[in-house]
Amino acid sequence: MQLYNKLSADERAKLIDEAGQNRLTISFYQYHQIGNPQVFRDTLFIAWNNLDVLGRTYVSNEGINAQISVSATRFKEFKSHLDTISFLEDVRLNIAIEQNNKSFLKLKVKVRDKIVADGLNDETFDVTDIGTHLKARDFNEIIAKENTVLVDMRNHYESEIGHFEGAITPDVDTFRDSLDIIEEDLKEHKEDKNLVMYCTGGIRCEKASAYYKHKGFKNVFQLEGGIIEYVRQVKEHDLENKFKGKNFVFDERRSERVSDDVISVCHQCGEACDDHTNCANQGCHLLFIQCKSCQTKMNDCCSNECKDIHELPQEVQKELRKGKNESNKVFKKGRSEALKFKT
């Protein structure tokens, strides 16, 4: 019985090309008490592998958080499968704004302590006492009010390429970093301001809204379904789009274009640009913004040092990486002294 991915990314990409079918990129989450996450994980993997689902999913005692892709021809079959799981019946599915058949190239279903790394002790507050959900129309109306504070619950490398007009965008690397910073910055307005939050698909705001209500904020709101659902509703109902730039996504696409505005710059030359890349030196893999000109000049690398390493034979590169385990030091998002326009 297959309980793990057996194909490489290159092998899977070839199969996708050979299949010649369009795939849908989808995300969803659901908070729910799962008694045995490992058993649920294994059952899910078997079912999804048979349905040719690809992507990254986290399962824990508190629920599920999934970013996946499925063949468009098997979407109804996939949805029917979800409906057989009691707590996932009719769960909201956020379908990507822009599609790419290779947004995911492997199926990974992992058991984690939490479906979002928030650093909170859930036993200290009521995680079900969440804020008021806002649809796009109501969201546009409330953020226009003077007594509203709009907060981006995403990380700096996400908001850098796109965010809502007038939003507070904390300069943080992780979701957990933003929670205390926002509370401290807004502590004088716990009773007289509307605290309105948003994120990519809604999952971070679900936990943050309950946390801030616990911390004494009286008027807490969250954008239902996040930016992805907001854009869908804006198009469906012909509403004014208040989001500027791109929406960062955690798959091979890296982002979805929401408006024509380019609000960020190339981290190497300073020219207007909002295209993320990962440094081609696999010992670095830094995520940063790089324009086409610098991409060519730097051979997809973030620094001259990485460029020199990337141009070495693969065997030599592997030897240089051997035994090194720098973890998050390597995979920092846009934090490098080598980047002239982002440090």
Residues tagged active-site:
199
Q: Distance between CA 24 and CA 98 in Å, rounded?
A: 9
Looking at residue 333, the DSSP 8-state letter turns out to be B
CB 291 within 8 A of CB 273: yes
Q: Distance between CA 48 and CA 147 in Å, rounded?
A: 46
CB 294 within 8 A of CB 341: no
CA gyration radius, the chain? 21
Q: Distance between CA 208 and CA 292 in Å, rounded?
A: 37
Sequence-distant (≥ 6) Cβ neighbours of residue 120 within 8 angstroms: 176, 179, 207, 211
CB 148 within 8 A of CB 141: no
Nearest C-alpha neighbor of 338 from the set 283, 301, 293: 301
The SS3 call for residue 164 is strand
Q: Distance between CA 76 and CA 316 in Å, rounded?
A: 48
Alpha carbon 232 to chain centroid, angstroms = 17
- Which residue shows structure tokens 């730039």? 245
Q: Distance between CA 244 and CA 166 in Å, rounded?
A: 10
Nearest C-alpha neighbor of 151 from the set 195, 194, 109: 195
Count helices and strands (H / E) in the chain. 11, 14
